[in-house]
Amino acid sequence: MIKAIFLALLALGHAGKAFWYSKSTGQFVTSTYYYEQYPQWASTWNAKKPAEQYRGKTWALLHPLKTYNAKDIDDRKYEANFKSLGRTFPHCYGDDKYSNLIVGLTPAIDELTLNFTKTVISNEKLGGQVRR
């Protein structure tokens, strides 16, 4: 599945279209270089504010810390201590102007990208039959 999504994104790039996550707005954006007019389907997706689902929540370990092989290295002196994210689990996404940025720095961005990619595939008709 992931391989298919990656290939679909590559195909979109070959079609001369591109989107990226804006860490300031929490939306997937594009430019007039790729679209003369911003697609309505993208506006609709962004209007749901999907990055907001992480606001005020935490990224926690799935299992107790003692069950992980790397349990002793959760806090390294070279790690950044960025705002609410902190250096050790659980990591808080925060509830301030940095929340969207933090989402973009964590695995939460993978979930958002996957969901947006599904929308792109559907609305840009990627993966369909090639017309000759």
Domain residue extents for the chain: 2-123
Q: What is the pLDDT of residues 100-110, one digit of tens each?
A: 999 999 999 99
Query: What's the pLDDT at 81?
Result: 87
pLDDT of residue 9: 54
> Is the Cα torsion angle 80, 52, 17, 10 positive or negative in sign?
positive
pLDDT tens-digit profile of 13-70?
556 788 999 999 999 999 998 888 999 999 999 999 999 999 999 999 999 999 999 8
pLDDT band at 98 (very low <50, low <70, confident <90, very high): very high
Comparing 64-73, 74-83, 99-108, 115-124, which segment has the lowest mean pLDDT? 74-83
Q: Which helix (H) or strand (E) holds 101?
A: helix 99-105
Question: 121 in helix, strand or coil?
Answer: helix
**b/e per residue 9-20 (b: at least 16 CB within 10 A):** beebeeeebebe
Mean pLDDT, to the nearest integer, of 78-102? 91
The model's confidence at residue 3, banded by pLDDT at 50, 70 and 90, is very low
Please give the model's pTM, rounded to 2 decimal places: 0.79
Question: Is the preceding peptide bond at 39 cis, omega within 30 degrees of 0?
Answer: no
Cα torsion 131, 30, 26, 3 to 10°: value is 40
Query: Which pLDDT belongs to residue 56?
Result: 94
